[in-house]
A and B are shown apart, each in its own frame.
Chain A
Amino acid sequence: MAQEASSSTSSKTISLKTGDGEIFEIEASAAKQMKTVQRLIDDLGDDITIPLHNVFSKELPKIIEYYKKDITGEITKDFEAEFVKDLNDDEVKVLFLAANYLDANKLFEFLSQNIADRLESKSVEYVRKYFGVENDFTPEEESKLREERAWSFRGIKEDE
């Protein structure tokens, strides 16, 4: 049951439908910040519900929350710190991928920096898990790599 966007008020809202079928409202000015959504609006018109197949109901509200603050110019360092404070690494990753899909530049840059901060000083195994990759080096290659990056060891077990 698609909701029609209200076009009678001066602050226009756009309806967005997530990949799992939920519908969220967002102000037109906030939607403008997400280039993908804007392109869809340009092609489909702003009266219909915009389908976002690759964004889901878990992350879209968070993205909308960010851009609600952005259009009122209230994004501060404190807000950004609070925004990511309770998110675990997977949630940040999902938001990052969604922001990329939506071409939401400001959020994307912010999340890129947050990911870089989260990876800082972490062990190789941690970084592997984060990127979702497997170790495909031979033992000889691994020992050569260890030698090459011996300068970066902080003497913690994680570096092994």
Chain B
Amino acid sequence: MVMAIASIESTMASSSSSSSSSILTMHHDIIHTHILTRLDATTLASTAATCSHLRHLCHDNHLWQKTAATTWPSLLYPTICHVISTFPNGHRSIFSDAFHTLHQYSSYSNDHRPLPPPPELISAVDIHYKGKPVFSRIRQTKTEKNMFLSSPLWIEIMEPNELVPMPVKFVRKEEEWIKHLEDNLYLSWILIDPTRKRSMNVSSQKPVSVRRHWLTRDVEILFSVIMAGETRRATEMVQCMVKVTCCGKVGGELHVREVNLVMEDMDGGKVSGKEGVGILMKAMEFGERKKVGGEGEMKMRFERFLNLVRERREMKFRRKKQWDGFSMVVAFVVCVWFCYLAGF
């Protein structure tokens, strides 16, 4: 009977006496399966930095895959899952590349060689409302087609005529409701380059603007990131803008109609697919990923960019007027001269 007790006890995970309990005396599997799988990404990263033993346990890609899918459910799509698992650090690299929005940086295009465009870009979009995921979709975009390169850069996530309901009530009181949306909506647009095995988040994460369309009364929610383009051109700075268009009836739910990404230059024009992809590639390779400083920082940058576009337009208009005025004066003088010559 004593042997029975001993044999039963020896098959269990042994733990030391309660006074000096070290969790690590337990079998690795237990820590891995029961504690590590429950940690969020930040805590997992901290745990991996404690000691070499825990680092080894934390380097299992499945742990990172799980927490990545919790943060961005769109990463559960098999296509993306497969692509990311080919990356050198697997799903961990999505955190270092796309957890924070691409930070605005000064133009460096002259310092870096132009990068050839990838054959394909994958977009993974997730919208959260009040901290819960409400919309997740991916889109593969072929970036080598002539049509894509010569048209303005445009990536549309949804199918034509598709409507996706969101658990967001459409309310009558506009100002309060707009503020509510600004405070509770969150969008992440992760662009993935499967060839170079890099990614980046091109959304401001919180909206920079929520407005109703003057005619259709659709709700347009904008997320924007300002990034550097090519120096000494209208694309010296560009705005990468994600627009979510929603419709709905008051009292009902909001329905998402369109979710698209475009790029605008400083003249307010659309950047072409070829130039846009070039800028995005440089940003992905050399851009800094940083936590945005302070509430409303991204909104401020968006408004600054809008002002810049407006100022440039006004300056162009003034110059044109001046030039027109000058041309008129010259034409008048030439006319008078001809009249004089003709003997009038």
A→B interface (CB under 8 Å):
19, 36, 39-40, 43-44, 51, 53-54, 56, 58-59, 90, 93-94, 96-98, 100-101, 103, 108-109, 112-113, 115-116, 119-124, 127-128, 130-137, 142, 145-146, 148-155, 159
| Contact of A128 with B8 in the complex, beta carbons under 8 Å | no
Q: Does B196 contact A (CB under 8 A)?
A: no
Q: Does B342 contact A (CB under 8 A)?
A: no
> How many positions in chain B have a CB within 8 Å of any CB in the partner chain?
43
For A39, the closest partner residue in chain B by CB is B8
Instruction: Please report the C-alpha to C-alpha distance between residue A109 and residue B35 in the assembled complex, in whole angstroms.
Output: 9
**A149-B39 in contact given A40-B5, A133-B51, A137-B51 (Cβ < 8 Å):** no
**A119-B39 in contact given A39-B8, A43-B4, A90-B21 (Cβ < 8 Å):** yes
How many Å from the CB of A65 to the closest CB on chain B?
Answer: 17
| Contact of A40 with B8 in the complex, beta carbons under 8 Å | yes
Choice from B21, B53, B95 contacting A152 with Cβ under 8 Å: B95
Contacting residues of chain B (22-49) with chain A, CB-CB under 8 angstroms: 22-24, 26, 30, 34-35, 38-43, 45-49
Q: Which of B1, B48, B50 has the most CB of A within 10 A?
A: B50
How many Å from the CB of A51 to the closest CB on chain B?
Answer: 7
Choice from A44, A54, A120 contacting B1 with Cβ under 8 Å: A44
Q: Which of A58, A100, A103, A154 has the most CB of B within 10 A?
A: A100
For A19, the closest partner residue in chain B by CB is B17
With A44-B5, A94-B21 known, 13 other A-B pairs at CB within 8 A are: A44-B4, A54-B17, A58-B18, A100-B26, A101-B15, A108-B34, A116-B39, A120-B43, A121-B42, A124-B50, A130-B23, A151-B289, A155-B291
| Contact of B24 with A131 in the complex, beta carbons under 8 Å | yes
**A149-B35 in contact given A93-B21, A103-B12 (Cβ < 8 Å):** no
A-side contacts of B99, CB under 8 Å: 151-152
How many Å from the CB of A63 to the closest CB on chain B?
Answer: 12
B→A interface (CB under 8 Å):
1, 4-5, 8-9, 12-15, 17-18, 21-24, 26, 30, 34-35, 38-43, 45-55, 92, 95-96, 99-100, 289, 291
Instruction: Please report the C-alpha to C-alpha distance between residue A154 and residue B289 in the assembled complex, in whole angstroms.
Output: 13
For B52, the closest partner residue in chain A by CB is A136
For A145, the closest partner residue in chain B by CB is B49
Instruction: Please report the C-alpha to C-alpha distance between residue A123 and residue B101 in the assembled complex, in whole angstroms.
Output: 23
Instruction: Please report the C-alpha to C-alpha distance between residue A123 and residue B43 in the assembled complex, in whole angstroms.
Output: 8
A-side contacts of B12, CB under 8 Å: 36, 54, 100-101, 103
**A120-B39 in contact given A39-B8, A44-B1, A100-B30 (Cβ < 8 Å):** yes
A-side contacts of B26, CB under 8 Å: 97, 100
A-side contacts of B17, CB under 8 Å: 19, 54, 56
Instruction: Please report the C-alpha to C-alpha distance between residue A135 and residue B5 in the assembled complex, in whole angstroms.
Output: 38
